[in-house]
Amino acid sequence: MASPAAVIASLVFYSFVAASTVAANFYRDFDITWGEGRGQIINNGQVLTLSLDKASGSGFQSKNEYLFGKIDMQLKLVPGNSAGTVTAYYLSSKGSTWDEIDFEFLGNLSGDPYILHTNVFSQGKGNREQQFYLWFDPTADFHTYSILWNPQRIIFSVDGTPIREFKNMESKGVPFPKDQPMRIYSSLWNADDWATRGGLVKTDWTQAPFTASYRNFNADACIWSSGSSSCPTNSPPSSPSNNGWLSQELDSSNQERLQWVQKNYMIYNYCADTKRFPQGGLPTECNAA
């Protein structure tokens, strides 16, 4: 059985076809798109911060679009009483039939755990929520949140531990994000109408400004530009030269880690919500092996 270090190394090895950011530089890789100064790039481009006050939140987006990749970002979330706030970090395309791969961090009262909310949209349809508690305090230090997106699957990971896998089940009629390039987006905003205990707990503006921090961005990814990909298309993903993230799947060790997280830390799974999907009406992917 491969060691965790070996598994993580295999996830990030794919330099042959990938465009990789060798060292994170937020000036080079991202644009702060809104917030009127509440988003800031500091430490010579090594750290980005987003802030929220009663007047506005803030957000940024990647300069590049990607069509498949392994995206890593370290985040340190809003500390203390973060109830009502949402820190969103996601990939998304544009248009009415957009694709999207979401991490959202739902704030909570001091001492109560954050909720990590995940979702996958394909062709404008989402409703595939899974939610988790984390096994550490995400406000005390930086932790790595990763999206592995290849033609076969999407894997959400935290500090190298997989928490969710969404497989390509187009053969069963389930749309899968594979044709639309996506940018990376992140925002910090007020959502106290729903974010904490269904909106019962409101944002305490006496605690503002709320600040989330980002560092160590890395994208081993196919950059999409002017209608073409930076990754070659003349060699199939299974060929010997393409043995990295583009054909990555979970080995037995990571399957066990995924099951451990889902058993101990998952607090909502749309595939188990029979009240939401009554009379055997669970989405197709929930019933597929």
Residue type, 258: L
Annotated active-site residue in 36, 65, 100, 285: 100
Which distant-in-sequence residues (6+ apart) come within 8 Å of 234 by Cβ?
Answer: none
Helix, strand, or coil (residue 264): helix
Annotated active-site residue in 104, 129, 165, 285: 104
- Annotated catalytic, 170? no
For 98-103, the CB contacts below 8 A with 24+ separation are 98/124, 98/180, 99/123, 99/177, 99/179, 99/180, 99/182, 100/126, 100/177, 100/182, 101/147, 101/149, 101/154, 101/156, 101/177, 101/182, 103/145, 103/147, 103/156
Decide: 191 and 84 in contact? Cβ < 8 Å: yes
Listing DSSP states for 213-231 in one string gives: EEEEEEEEEEEEETTEESS
Alpha carbon of residue 231 to chain centroid: 22
Structure tokens at 231: 């990754």
- Annotated catalytic, 165? no
Catalytically active residues, by annotation: 100, 104
